A and B are shown apart, each in its own frame.
Chain A
Amino acid sequence: MKHDCQETEPLISGYLDGELTQSDRQRVDLILEDCEQCSLAFAEMKKLRKGVGSLSFDQLTETEKSNMTKNATSGAGSNLGQFLAITGLILVYGVGACWLSWELITDAKFADTGDTKDKVPMFIRFGLPTLIGGVGILFFTVLFQRLKAAKTDKYTDVQF
């Protein structure tokens, strides 16, 4: 069969791996019958393929394998714990801080009782809510940065 060995050679790999269409397979069958060069390439590649398949490489020990599995799955628990802790913190901090700030700014207790002993000093009425707000902003900025970094981790984008 007339052919250009250079051009048809890649088909030999596909043929060897059983990845060709039926018509290409038939074409390679004919080429291998006729062409000594392609036939030699096929024989050598077949030998190499078998050789690579039977190579042995360094392996994990049973202990390493077991530890790896343990570490990977225990990490999942800590992740869940982290998620719950963050959610709880947001709820407690968000609701609690807003309530406390509101109580302080409006000086609610003094407004109720009218007793001067309940009056909160001005620097605490406005200083503490400012501090709470500042810490809150810092916390959420760091949290969002962490989440953004996790989202842009190239391996988490790997799809099945």
Chain B
Amino acid sequence: MTADSHLPSRDELEALSESGFALAIQLLSHHEDAADVVQDALRKLVHSGRYKAQKGSPLAWFLKVVRNSALDTLRQRRPNDDEALARLAATAPAPDIAVELEELAGIMRRQLEAMPVAQREIVLLRDFHDLSYTEIAEVLGIAPGTVMSRLHRARNELRKRMKKYLK
């Protein structure tokens, strides 16, 4: 890529698609849907021509597009899909067996999936994607001052769900 080009390089696009896919799969739990969402977001990124002309972080912009698109996909799904996820979460094994089987990560993933999307996404944006509070505010379209309290509420929810496994 040339220095003055507004188009991202192939490596930059691949890095963005990896992060975007991670967020999409975390929200949608469906490989093809997540891939479609990322493909659309990449197209928007390339067509917008604003990759190098941005003020903030390109990753935050990209994740914002992925997130909005993933939420649209979630809305179009049948309402009982969320119930299916909740049922899936309820099938987590008992704590002692789980620890023995070293499935703590699996349990945490299921508990995250069972949480409301608004709480799940803020925890993942911070703890998995490692975004700053300013970037999280950009992705979620909220005031930066509200990120800390929202994140804390979401972490408390996860803490409550994982309480028996944290000892």
Contacts and interface: CB of A to CB of B under 8 A. Distances in A.
Contacts of B124: 52
A69 B152 contact: no
A49 B67 CA distance: 21
B145 to A, nearest CB: 11
Contacts, number: 129
A55 B112 CA distance: 11
A152 to B, nearest CB: 14
Given A51-B108, A72-B46, A17 B25 contact: no
Interface string A52-94: 1111111110001110110111011001000000000000000
A155 interface: yes
A34 interface: no
B14 interface: yes
Given A17-B133, A76-B7, A55 B128 contact: yes
Contacts of A158: 61, 64-65, 68
Given A68-B39, A76-B7, A160-B53, A12 B152 contact: yes
B100 to A, nearest CB: 18
B43 A71 contact: yes
B64 to A, nearest CB: 6
Contacts of A10: 148-149, 152
Nearest to B123: A52
A65 B17 CA distance: 7
A22 interface: no
A68 B133 CA distance: 29
A143 interface: no
Interface of A: 9-14, 17, 19, 41, 44-45, 47-49, 51-60, 64-66, 68-69, 71-73, 75-76, 79, 154-156, 158-160
Interface of B: 7, 10, 13-14, 17-18, 21-22, 25-26, 31, 34-35, 38-39, 42-48, 50, 53-58, 61, 64-65, 68-69, 104-105, 108-109, 112, 123-124, 126-128, 130, 132-133, 148-149, 151-152, 155-156, 158-159, 162, 166
